[in-house]
Amino acid sequence: MKIDIEETKPINGVKWKIVTLTNNQGMSVTFLNFGGIITKILVPDKNGKLENVVLAYKNEEQYLTNPGYLGAIIGRVAGRIQGASFKIDDKTFKVDDNEGIHCLHGGTSGLNNALWEIEPYQSFNELCVKLSHRSKDGEGGFPGNLDIEVIYKLNTRNQLTIDYIASTDKKTPITLTNHSYFNLSGNAKRTIHDHEIAVDSKEFIELDEELIPTGKLLDVSGTTFDFRNSRLLQKGFNNDFYQNRLAGSGYDHYFVFEHKQEEQIWLKDKESGRTLSVKTNQPGFVMYTSNNLEEGLELTEGITEKYLGVCLETQGTPVSLHHHNFPSIVQNENDVYKKQTIFTFGIG
């Protein structure tokens, strides 16, 4: 069990830190203090071969633009805020409109562009690194000074835990997530067409033509969105169902968890034998199958292409800012935002 910390060459005059957590089974997680970006997760396949199961750019400089948000911490608000505005206590706040007239993933000053302070520590069977950052009042148009901690933990059971903790001095919306693109084939040698996934959800939120959630819940029954029993992702990589068509022949939708199962998401690549299960206290997640991922960017293995990874963005939904039939993401001054997601890697 060890924690290694190195530095990049200067990028825009700043050296970023590269942190690697390695457990006794050989699994390792590597991330940058810039954006908290996860660049590598090495886990064994059914033959014991260690390979990377997340997409990462070949050159760190590419993270300065990072159009696909590869591996990054996302916030203050993960997802799309309709019209880049919202109301709190009858006061309207205008935030960055970085995707047309809408705000995507916290805008241009989102947490994916922050340089985080890091503090490594270790318990008996767990390696931990706390990342800390203050998002200042008015940054990106959001109210309140927001003090954020994100803790990456790796234990001896090949579990990566991400804890999110935040407090504010003014009411403000917050929902944080991680935007890693998983590909269990290892080293991105195949697309995710043959990945099987099961999801503890019977409803998802409808999207409109601009990928903005309408606030309408749709039943998954009889659709390509029914993952209550395991099915291949490729079943939705077409235009047969209008919601798949709107998302670019795939998925970019928020699923509401029933929380009937101990783990809310289960993913498997049959050929490699790798599995990934996800347990969270978040109310749902966005599944994005890289339908609109910019193509032709150089990765550590290969180049970006459609359907090369799947994002499992556990989070609250910004649709609650305009449709109040969903759990609110607005945090009060005296409350503490506290969320957790556990990624368990295995063989099955």
Residues 46-66: tens digit of each pLDDT: 999 999 999 999 999 999 999
CA–CA distance, 133 with 143 (Å, rounded to integer) = 16
Helix, strand, coil content of the chain in percent (nearest 5): 10, 45, 45
Residue 114 reports pLDDT greater than 90:
yes
- pLDDT tens for residues 321-344? 999 999 999 999 989 999 999 999
CA–CA distance, 95 with 141 (Å, rounded to integer) = 4
User: Which residues, 6+ apart, have CB-to-CB distance to 46 below 8 Å?
Assistant: 272, 273, 274, 347
Residue 43 reports pLDDT greater than 90:
yes
Mapped onto helix, strand or coil, the DSSP state of residue 282 is: coil
Apex 32 CA angle, 27 and 339, nearest 5: 75
Q: Tell me the whole-structure pTM to 2 decimals.
A: 0.97
Instruction: Report how far apart, in Å, the C-alpha atoms of 95 and of each of 81, 112, 149, 183, 210 are.
Output: 9, 16, 23, 33, 18
Sketch out the chain's domains with CATH numbers.
Answer: 2-347 (2.70.98.10)
Write down the pLDDT at residue 88.
Answer: 97
Categorize the per-residue pLDDT at 124 as very low, low, confident or very high, splitting at 50, 70 and 90.
Answer: confident
CA 151 to chain CA mean position, Å? 14
Please indicate whether residue 139 is annotated as part of the active site: no
Please indicate whether residue 117 is annotated as part of the active site: no
Contact status, residue 339 vs residue 164, Cβ threshold 8 Å: yes
Please report, rounded to a whole number, the percentage of residues in the chain having pLDDT higher than 90: 98
Q: 102, 105, 179, 253: which is the annotated catalytic residue?
A: 179
Mean pLDDT, range 240-248, rounded to an integer: 95
Q: 51, 149, 196, 313: which is the annotated catalytic residue?
A: 313
Contact status, residue 192 vs residue 274, Cβ threshold 8 Å: no
